[in-house]
Structure formats: C-alpha cells, structure tokens
Amino acid sequence: MTIIEQADFPSTLGMDTEPVAGQATPMLLGVATANPPTRYSQRELVELLAIDDPKIRGIFLNGGIESRYLTLPSVDKEGNFRSETQGELLAKHRRYGVATGAAAIRKCLSRIGKDLDEVDYLVAVTTTGFLTPGFSALLINELGLSPGTARLDVVGMGCNAGLNGLTAAAAWSTANPGKLAVLVCTESCSAAYVYDGTMRTAVVNSLFGDGAAAMAVSTDGAHIRPAADPPPRLLGMRSYMIIHAMDAMRYDWDDEAGKFSFYLDKEVPYEVGAHVETVVDQLLGEAGLRRKEITHWIVHSGGKKVIDAVKINLGLTNHDLRHTVSVMRDYGNLSSGSFLFSYQRLLAEGRVARGDYGVFMTMGPGSQIETALFQY
C-alpha cells in the first residue's frame, strides 16, 4: 500500500478555523452543472438498444439508475443504432464537451456574480476522449476568455480526476492570491460506448451519463458576492493508489470494434471498500478530526456496489449519501464531474452551517481514491 502525497495547502489542519497569517486558503466560491439535451430512462434505453439478454436487462434496470443524459447515435434504415467510428465518437466528445462545459462555466460565474473576463485560470478535466488542443483551449475560444488566461488540461485520469483538477486549481489560487480560477469537468460518456452485446460493454453502457460541472475557486474574499454566505474553505487533500488493482479500471483499444472501450473489473467495489478507510482516516487525522465530526459526505456516484462499499466501510448512513444516491438515480455516473453534481445538491438543500466540515471523495482508474476536506 502506498500513500501518494498531494499538494498540501497552507491550511488550518489540526488548528483553529482561521487562516494562518500570511497564508492564503482556497475558497469554493460556487458550482454549476449542465447536460446535453437528450435524456432517457433506463427502461427506454433497454428498448431502444433492443436488449433481450435477461442478465444485461437486469444490469440496466437494477443498478440504482432511473434516467441519464446521453447522446445516442443516429439510426439506420432498419431502425437500428448505427455503429459510430472512433472519429465520429471524438467529434461527439468535442461538440458536446465544449457545449456542456461552456454552459456549466457560464452558470457558475453567473451564480457568484462574476464575468467571463474575470477568469484568470482554467482547469479542464475530461476522460472520455482525447483532443489536441484540449478542452481548456477550446473553452477559452468558445467563451471568449482573455488570451492571457492560464490553463491546464487533466486528461485520462477517470472518475477521480475532478479532485485532481481541484488540487491544481486550489494550488494555483494559493500561489496567485486574489485571482479567480475555474475548474470544469466535462464528460460525454456516450462518446466512449461500444455496442457489442458483451457483458463487459453492457456494464459500462448501463452506468455512465453525459454532463459537465464547473467550480470557481479563489483565495480572495473580494470574489464573494455581496450579502452571500461565506463559502467553504478547502483545508487539505489526500490520495491513495491501490497499486495491485491498477488494471481494474482502464480504457483499452478494441481491435475488433476499432475504437476505445472502457473496462470495469467486478472487484472494483471491493477494492474501493477495502482501502477507503485508510485514506479518509489519514485525511481526517491530519486535521485532528474523526468521521463523526464530518457533517457532509460528497461521494462520487460510482455505481450501486461502490456506494454500498463506501457506506459499509466508513459506517455512513443513507442520509450521509443521499446526494450521491440521488445523483446516481437521476444522472448515472457522470465520471469526473459526479461529485460536483452532488455538491450542488447539498448547496441547494440549504442545510449547511458555519463550522460544518465536509469531505469530497472520488475514485477511479489507478485504482485511485481521492479525498478533500472542506469547512464552512
């Protein structure tokens, strides 16, 4: 077992709740999400995809998902979905990734009362396609951001990558006090689907949905909207790589299909469950906290079995994971942006209080578990 150190912010870990003099602490100013126009229930998808195998139908209908946003291919003369080439899938990834990413950024900035020309740094996260230039450049061009906007692309890190991107945005904000950073996670998971009737692709096709989420980060209180409640501060982050399970989640080239194909091992929930205590307890231990002192758990909607494994091994309740489960139900697994969809629901609920602690948790290829601690 190996602990991989992440950037440690000049934080209040284990101390009082006020920033250390002379050190800047990143604040989570706001969040927003966006999805493509087409939404389907799981039962609609089973019929549209003409899935007759009872095992595969069961995977679609019993996974805790009721509906998802997807961009399905066009149909042929016989009414069957046409098999898209890898080039067509990449074009879909670019088109909808830019559209939903830009929409999420616009909404995020609007909520905190900021304009596009005030963005100083853009971190763009994606896993479901590979583009050069990446989404950071495409979104700067699409949104008309300043040519002087600093940028970073986080690519190919999977469902845990939203927190990897947040690490970069927070570290940049700490090094550039007063400036505004934006993280955007934009995934067109339907651009990574292979339809071959196998159980391997059925698991993936039953699970993932399309969508984007954006979060604004800064150390400067001047970016807080007048009369708004103080935003939470990001206190620290901790990573853990399950090295022996490195191949449990991967994106392979499928020679027969002529396109990339995502693979999820059936052992993923057990590997996550077996190691989640290690990283969470280290994150909290450094802050002098225990699990019972965490009010808000924002866990990635990785799948029904993954959520159950986290719940059991951390001793969490259904209430603790209500947003994780409801995002899974309404959107499926949105890959890197899933945890931000849950965080948005927490804020909309209006139950956070000054002093509350919260934990972000994501998991994905590596196999990796990412965590972060925040406080209101």
Residues labelled catalytic? 159
Rg (C-alpha) for the chain, rounded Å, is 20
Q: What b/e sequence results for 178-206 when a residue is b if at least 16 CB atoms lie within 10 Å of its CB, and e otherwise?
A: ebbbbbbbbbbbbbbbbbeeeebbbbbbb
Q: How many CA atoms lie within 13 A of 255 on its CB side?
A: 0
DSSP-assigned beta bridge partners for residue 371: 238, 361
Q: At how many degrees (to 10) do helices 304-314 and 268-286 cross?
A: 40
Q: How far apart are CA 260 and CA 263, in angstroms?
A: 10
AA letter at 40: Y
CB atoms within 10 A of CB 1: 10
Write the CA distances from 255 to 35, 88, 129, 252, 261, integer angstroms: 31, 17, 17, 9, 10
